[in-house]
Structure 1
Amino acid sequence: MTADYLRTALSVRLALPADAADIARIHVKAWQAAYRSIFPAAYLNSLSIPKRQALWTALIARGMPRVMLAERNDVTLGWIAWGVSRDHDRRETDAEIEAIYIDPTHWRRGAGRMLIDEAINAAASEGYREMTLWALEENVQGLRFYKALGFALDGVFRTERVGGCEVCETRLRMAI
């Protein structure tokens, strides 16, 4: 199958509170797969789908961030959450991808690219002119993916404490 076929077979829609279970499941599975070399196994194994489901139910009901799903044949493959930038140095025209996760069984099949395209188009239609996102410095595959889509490192870093580890995140930016 060609990438074009796989991409056209996908659909994107806004998430509903009832989608929170799928979102939470993908959130946990993607963390466990993508970050296994970054965070301790005990921490990754402790991630709770029910806790994340409660979080995403509330966030989706609130309407911010906006959450969109990528689906194929009524199966949720991944999701993206985006909204106004939360950064202290933001401008009024800055939007932010807060999170994007694809079910690991569906990696590299077009869902991530499609979700980012949809978020960028939606943000641009609302008057945003820049899209930012944060990525772990150690997430080499993620950084490669974002750069291939046109995001560039903007030189801003932050340190976070997650799962008992201190990690560095780097910000990427794209004009939209």
Structure 2
Amino acid sequence: MKADYLRTALSFRLAAPSDAAEIARIHVKAWQAAYRSIFPAEYLNSLSIPKRRALWSELIARGMPRIMLAERDDIMLGWIAWGPSRDNDKGRTDAEIEAIYIDPAHWRQGAGRMLIDEAINAAASEGYREMTLWALEENVHGLRFYKALGFALDGVFRTERLGGCEVCETRLHMAI
């Protein structure tokens, strides 16, 4: 019942340039909340909403990745960015969720699940047959969430240096 209510209460749309500031705010707040046990507090506290706003303004203007918003009563709850896979071992029918963030005040209310559903449906309608995403190995809650939606680990990993830490990301995939 809750998911049906939320589906009717939420609206989805592509981001406009005027959305960049709110996208940036959610991006920073979600990072600070979700990754506080992974990255140092000093790094998380240094994340800049104005810098993220500039990044998202540029990406929205470019039109890639596609950025879809979830809103209720004109309040942005979260967003998802997706497009063609950026991975060298993937082909033309592979899409990728590049990022998904929900305002921490709205976590665990179904917006993330519905944003992923919307992105998968949009990708399938454009001829994509697989959706991938990368997640931090230490992001136990995120990995559990993605697996519950039907994503599976595909055995591909990468290591990056971020915020003074070396972190490992694992790729997940799903046929669509």
TM over 0.5: yes
Shorter-chain-normalised TM-score: which range?
Answer: over 0.9
Deviations 1:102-130 (A, max 9, x none): 00000011110111001001100110000
- Which residue is equivalent to 1:35? 35
Deviations 1:30-88 (A, max 9, x none): 00000000000000000000000000001001000000000000000000000000001
CA distance in structure 1 between the aligned counterparts of 2:8 and 2:113, rounded to whole angstroms: 12
- Which residue is equivalent to 1:75? 75
- Which residue is equivalent to 1:148? 148
Deviation at 1:8, TM superposition (A): 1.8
CA distance in structure 2 between the aligned counterparts of 1:27 and 1:67, rounded to whole angstroms: 13
Tell me if the contact between 1:29 and 1:103 (Cα under 8 Å) persists in the aligned partners.
yes
Task: Give 4+ residue runs of structure 1 displaced > 4 Å after superposition.
Answer: none
- Which residue is equivalent to 2:165? 165
When structure 1 is superposed on structure 2, of 26-35 and 7-16 the one drifting more is 7-16
Tell me if the contact between 1:71 and 1:77 (Cα under 8 Å) persists in the aligned partners.
yes
Consecutive unaligned residues of structure 1, counting only runs of 5 or more, are: none
Letter in 1 for 2:65: P
Tell me if the contact between 1:80 and 1:101 (Cα under 8 Å) persists in the aligned partners.
yes
Letter in 2 for 1:5: Y
CA distance in structure 2 between the aligned counterparts of 1:52 and 1:20, rounded to whole angstroms: 8
Deviation at 1:6, TM superposition (A): 2.2
- Which residue is equivalent to 1:123? 123
Consecutive unaligned residues of structure 2, counting only runs of 5 or more, are: none
SS in 2 for 1:159: strand
TM-score, normalising length: structure 1: 0.98
Identical aligned residues as a percent = 87
SS in 2 for 1:150: coil
Alignment length (residue pairs): 176
CA distance in structure 2 between the aligned counterparts of 1:116 and 1:3, rounded to whole angstroms: 14
Tell me if the contact between 1:7 and 1:109 (Cα under 8 Å) persists in the aligned partners.
no
TM-score, normalising length: structure 2: 0.98
SS in 2 for 1:153: strand
SS in 2 for 1:108: coil
